[in-house]
Amino acid sequence: MSDGWTQALHALGPMITGALLGTVPLALASFSLGLALALGVALMRLSRHRMLVAPARAYVSVIRGTPLLVQLFVVFYGLPAVGIVIPPWPSAILAFSLNVAGYTAETVRAAVAAVPRGQWDAAYMMGMSHTMTLRKVVLPQAARIAVPPLSNSFIALVKDTSLASLVLVTELFRRAQQIAAFTQDFMRLYVEAALVYWAVCLALSAGQSALERRLTRYAI
Amino acid sequence: MPSERLEPSTRRTPVLSVRGLRASIAGRSVLRGVDLTVNRSGVLAVIGPSGSGKTTLLRCLNGLHVADAGRITAGTGPDVHFDDAAGRRDAPRLRHRSAMVFQHHNLFPHMTAMQNVCVGPIAVQRRAADLVEQEARALLDRFGIGDRASSYPNELSGGQQQRVGLARALALRPDLLLVDEPTSALDPELVGDVLQLMSELAAEGWTMVVVTHELAFAADIADHIAFLHEGRVLEEGPPGAVLRSPEHDRTRQFVARLAH
């Protein structure tokens, strides 16, 4: 085996470590926080009060209308200029969560709106409050509707976390860059990084299919 | 259970009283002053052409649609007045008195038949789960779907779904049962079954308001029929009188068109 292949093999360990300790936790933390925020934004969008609808719309518009890399730089390099210094990891999680929320809020809103009106009627009929209706009747059904698009958003986020390498978070791609800078074998190492991303996304797709199968015992 | 409430002295007490009820949908006036009374253990059938306001009336009785004016008293609950905003906010209180069976059943698709029946009594009424489950099982057994208790709605036929919907409403122990078009979403051969089932419930003493197109069904099940036309009760009385010798031309036309 040539030196190049040996080096690539040795690089696999640090890259997988970077994926497991950097990429995956970063994506999971950002997605969980982002989704919680998205639920709030979606419910604001669906509200009858203009005071709630307008800021929610503006938020979605700003997030979707600006590049993720710019959002990340505003948080990590911009905020310190006004006295707010946030370390790399929290910066990345903050920027990614805000970004995920902007995109998935629309998914959640559409899923909630897709639950038939008769479901609200039946829940109200038995005396449920608005909150209980959401929790027990509407959101479980909306979740089923939202799983495929949300899985796509999650997989997109996993790949987008490579941008965190630019704000000094040591994840998969930053590992690859560090090793490549040392060995100068860019082609082999970056293709290797791509393959590790691909493997992670394949595993996630399998997880998505399993989740969908579990949720399809009933049809909407 | 209602059979305990069947002493003769209480038979004539009104369970539902509606006075001057007005309601609109998207600015269009749908109910234009409806007065109705249903006594305990009475069965009122509301008939009338499409668009006459039958379903809106039923939804108002449960507070699902908030009326614009008038008054509703249901069960032992307080009067709900709709003449001012404060009164209209009380509309949801009507839900503690009545339970509704929907035309398209509206079962919760992510819950089993059993869970559909139990969720209201347990989560809303905070009754003891084991007792509620016993009661729910008894209801499902009695409706002949005890073996489908752990099935999801999409695994049930339309007739079975309707029975779950009925069990779900009865499990709430309402003073008043509201049933919207029970025969319209069913195959014709199942109409006899649901009629049988509802006659049994009526005989047990449940107080009911049934909206229906099916005049034979109305005649069989109801002790009182109200003919709704353009948002008003045009004619009401015992089924024999309203269906066989209607006083108004409108009622006569409606009955003639449907009774062939």
pLDDT in tens, B139-157: 999 999 999 999 999 999 9
In this predicted structure, what is the pLDDT of residue B6?
A: 46
> A55 at the B interface (CB within 8 A)?
no
- Residue A183 pairs with which residues in a beta bridge? none
> Is B157 within a domain?
yes
pLDDT of B9 reads 45
What is residue B3's predicted lDDT score, i.e. its pLDDT?
45
User: CB–CB of A128 and B123 under 8 A?
Assistant: yes
Is A127–B100 a contact, with Cβ atoms under 8 angstroms apart? no
- How many domains does chain B fold into? 1
User: Is residue B90 domain-resident?
Assistant: no
pLDDT number for residue B65: 94
Task: Please name the residues in contact with A75: beta carbons below 8 A apart, sequence gap of 6 or more.
Answer: A86, A91, A94, A95, A167
**Per-residue model confidence as pLDDT tens digits over B126-135:** 999 999 999 9
Residue A40 confidence (pLDDT) above 60: yes
Within-domain flag for B75: no
Q: Say if residue B5's pLDDT is above 50.
A: no
Residue B151 lies in a domain: yes
Structural tokens at position B174: 């309402």
Give residue B166's domain range.
Answer: 102-173
Q: Which residues of chain B have a CB within 8 Å of the CB of A142?
A: none
Nearest one of B21, B81, B58 to B232, comparing CA atoms: B21
Sign for the pseudo-dihedral over CA of A81, A84, A88, A93:
negative
Q: Which residue has the tokens 């965190």?
A: A164
Residues B197 and B148: their CA atoms lie apart, in Å, by 18
CB contact residues (below 8 A), chain B span 14-73, against chain A: 59, 62-64
How confident is the model at residue B195, as a pLDDT?
86
Digit-coded pLDDT (tens) for A192-211: 999 999 999 999 999 888 88
Q: Residue by residue, what is the 3-state secondary structure of A148-169? A: HHHHHHHHHHHHHHHHHHHHCC
Q: What are phi and psi of B89, to 5 degrees?
A: -65, -20
Average pLDDT of B205-227? 91
**Token code pair at residue B161:** 């779904």
Q: Does A218 touch chain B (CB under 8 A)?
A: yes
| pLDDT (average), residues B224-251 | 90
Number of Cβ within a 10 Å radius of residue B231? 23
Instruction: Please enumerate in sequence order all residues whose Cβ is within 8 A of that of A215, keeping only pairs 6 or more positions apart, or say none.
Output: A143, A144, A147
3-state secondary structure A39-75: HHHHHHHHCCCHHHHHHHHHHHHHHHCCCHHHHHHHH
Give tens-digit pLDDT for A42-86: 999 998 889 999 999 999 999 999 999 999 999 999 999 999 999
Share of chain A above pLDDT 70, in %: 97
Residues in chain A with CB shorter than 8 Å from the CB of B63 are: 124
Domains of chain A: 3-216 (1.10.3720.10)
Tell if the CB–CB gap between B120 and A127 is shorter than 8 Å. Answer: yes
Position B258 pLDDT exceeds 90:
no
Per-residue pLDDT, averaged over B180-208, amounts to 88
Alpha carbons within 13 angstroms on the beta-carbon side of residue B165 total: 32
Q: Is A65 on the interface with B (CB under 8 A)?
A: no
User: For residue B222, is it within any domain?
Assistant: no
Q: Give one DSSP letter per residue of B198-247, joined into a string.
A: HHHHHHHT--EEEE-S-HHHHHHH-SEEEEEETTEEEEEE-HIIIIIS-S
Tens-digit pLDDT profile for residues B38-71? 999 999 999 998 888 999 999 999 999 999 999 9
CB pairs under 8 A between A and B: 62
Q: What is the pLDDT of residue A91?
A: 93
Asked whether residue B154 is assigned to any structural domain, the reply reads yes
> Of B91, B66, B71, B94, which is closest to residue B81 (Cα–Cα)?
B71
Mean pLDDT for the stretch of residues B224-239? 93
Q: Is the pLDDT of residue B7 over 50?
A: no
- pLDDT band at residue A217 under the 50/70/90 scheme: low
pLDDT band at A141 (very low <50, low <70, confident <90, very high): very high
Q: Residue B152's closest chain A neighbor by CA?
A: A218
pTM (two decimals)? 0.85
Q: Which of B102, B110, B125 sits opposite A141 (nearest CB)?
A: B110
What SS3 state is found at B20? Answer: strand
Task: Judge whether B94 lies within some domain.
Answer: no
Q: State residue A95's pLDDT score.
A: 96
The token pair at B60 is 């108002």
More confident residue, B3 or B104: B104
